[in-house]
Structure 1
């Protein structure tokens, strides 16, 4: 029997600093000039640029961006010195609860997924609970860029089981604290956070089906190390393995189809019946790749990459928020959310959209 549980409210929280491509052109002119000359950067450059294979739609959509030193990035949101991913999570959490007309004491569980959390080893969940002043359970979930659909799946299952009624999910990413500006990888990433409340909905609404598979082929390609900064503090640093680009190009199409078709089948529907698709868009070409691979029209999805660049797991929340705010998703529409997490899992989840309350529009968003 279907138990109607899903997203009741949704909020997005962004840092105050907005950086356009001109920032890097003015501050690092030699680096940009070198990149333009070589038509190649460390991130996402294919190991073999002789041409895209006709059967690989990922390669075909990627190729037009390879001569752009910013790979299609236009703007990215960056944490200021007095901001943190935890502050963004707490702001989004308060906004989501206010929109849902819930008092913090009505929350039974907090699930936080942060890449990376402010306190390595403990995660942000308990800190969010402390900021909200509530005593409910609080734990952390890690699925890299697939965190949003997997946290939604987990929270929904717990509410459907009757163990909890209102679950608050917070998602954040602080890539700018993990990558130095001098590293060209920083040109393609940004920071941000989001939150949503999972609770009972109207009959026939909510989560209908899901499909998740692991991405263990990338276990050695997403590397977090520590280095000492100029002030003697040890900070985490994110590095990508040399084979990551090739592995992604080989695996992404198959995994996308497996998860999205599997989630639809588990929901008892076909992809053609889905009204709108939400993808975690880590690259400028990813939305086009997904729609082409699934055989759907581009206007059935939202691509927030030009506005945000890659905000990791927050991209799913940002694209969902923007689609709902723009009226692309209406109550009772069928929505599929898909996220691909490196060295973790890829997951798709199908839901029938409810009467979802949206949080305040973040500053700097028109």
Structure 2
């Protein structure tokens, strides 16, 4: 197996049924919206000059959004009607298995990241193993917003070494379930899930190279306060004195990781056909395209419709790009994600015959946006 090509065999996503627009806060928390510039979101992401060209590009692209308290986010998908982080992940996992034409018996390892785990301390891998009828090991993996990418690297290594044939990766996030809505940070956050199967693929397809660096400088940028709302655990995040380091580091490792992944793959960045960037903020993708000097039509930005779904974003964007016909077989694709107190990660893969799960019911608008190559407008 050591000389075999390994990559994504199937990819699926799940979106909750609820849609939360900015009117939710305007109606229910009008004072919060009025005072937004003095609160968490504005404090965490404020213009701050840097010696880093990449960080300054980030700041330049942020400035047009500063007049919008929602920072460019218009809609987010949120759980409702009994949905939670487990139901979202389970739906995505079932679709990934079906698309790959595999059963639970075919899976040799499951890697799970949930944000936030229903298990709180131990994570939810055991839940998914039981619910899906898996008889293989099931691991919980944590790397903040880069968790799906770190799981991809882990799965790749397991299959490439011959330890496993098929690895199922599940990433699910339900921020609306635990972030207090009267905190401006919740303006950015949405819910969703992804799942993919990593297996042996056709020669010269799949993952060709990667580069991963830790983001230790971001540790301690936020204080997390755990609240008890009538027996329900909720969290409130407040920026600390080190919050500036979080912002400065957003692009610190970006070019290094992207160029490193391309070098490991034996290609140059100008040979990449499509780029998928983790986009926690509306301006992030544009700052990335400028940093690399690439054509904006070679990437995708769905922040206005999905918000920040943390670790789910890279596979979610990859899925919509493929569904929209923006990625074709034999294309070279670069994925990048950064995780606060986690890792900066980049992969180069050659897109092959990747089976896609069915499109979620309430995602027509998102798919249409994915098909469009026009830049996203600021909507307040």
TM-score (norm 1): 0.94
Q: What per-residue deviation string (whole Å, max 9, x for no partner) do you get for residues 23-69 of structure 1?
A: 2212222322333xxx5542154676587889410110111101101
Residue equivalent to 1:28: 29
The answer on 1:265 being equivalent to 2:266 is: no
Q: What per-residue deviation string (whole Å, max 9, x for no partner) do you get for residues 177-214 of structure 1?
A: 22111111111101111000101111100111111111
Residue equivalent to 1:331: 329
Distance 1:158 1:251, change over 3 A: same
Distance 1:204 1:48, change over 3 A: closer
Residue equivalent to 1:180: 180
Which of residues 254, 279, 288 in structure 2 aligns to 1:256?
254
Q: What per-residue deviation string (whole Å, max 9, x for no partner) do you get for residues 10-31 of structure 1?
A: 1110111101112221222232
Tell me if structure 2 keeps the 8 A contact 1:222–1:342.
Answer: no
For the aligned residue pairs, the C-alpha RMSD in angstroms reads 1.9
Tell me if structure 2 keeps the 8 A contact 1:44–1:245.
Answer: no
Q: Once the 2 structures are TM-superposed, how far is the Cα of residue 83 of structure 1 from its aligned partner?
A: 1.3
Describe the SS at the equivalent of 1:111: strand
Identify unmatched segments of 5+ residues in structure 2: 365-380
Matches within 5 A, 1:113-262: 113-229=113-229, 231=230, 233=231, 235-243=233-241, 245-262=243-260
Q: Which moved more, 1:92-101 or 1:113-122?
A: 113-122
Describe the SS at the equivalent of 1:335: strand
Residue equivalent to 1:18: 19
Q: What per-residue deviation string (whole Å, max 9, x for no partner) do you get for residues 138-161 of structure 1?
A: 011111101121111110110011
CA distance in 1, matches of 2:207, 2:46: 41
Which of residues 295, 299, 303 in structure 2 aligns to 1:301?
299
Which of residues 295, 308, 311 in structure 2 aligns to 1:310?
308
Describe the SS at the equivalent of 1:253: coil
Q: Once the 2 structures are TM-superposed, how far is the Cα of residue 226 of structure 1 from its aligned partner?
A: 2.2
Tell me if structure 1 keeps the 8 A contact 2:215–2:341.
Answer: yes
CA distance in 2, matches of 1:300, 1:91: 30
Q: Once the 2 structures are TM-superposed, how far is the Cα of residue 241 of structure 1 from its aligned partner?
A: 2.5
CA distance in 1, matches of 2:326, 2:3: 26
CA distance in 1, matches of 2:87, 2:157: 28
Q: What per-residue deviation string (whole Å, max 9, x for no partner) do you get for residues 71-109 of structure 1?
A: 000100111261111111111000010011111211111
Distance 1:281 1:203, change over 3 A: same
CA distance in 1, matches of 2:94, 2:345: 27
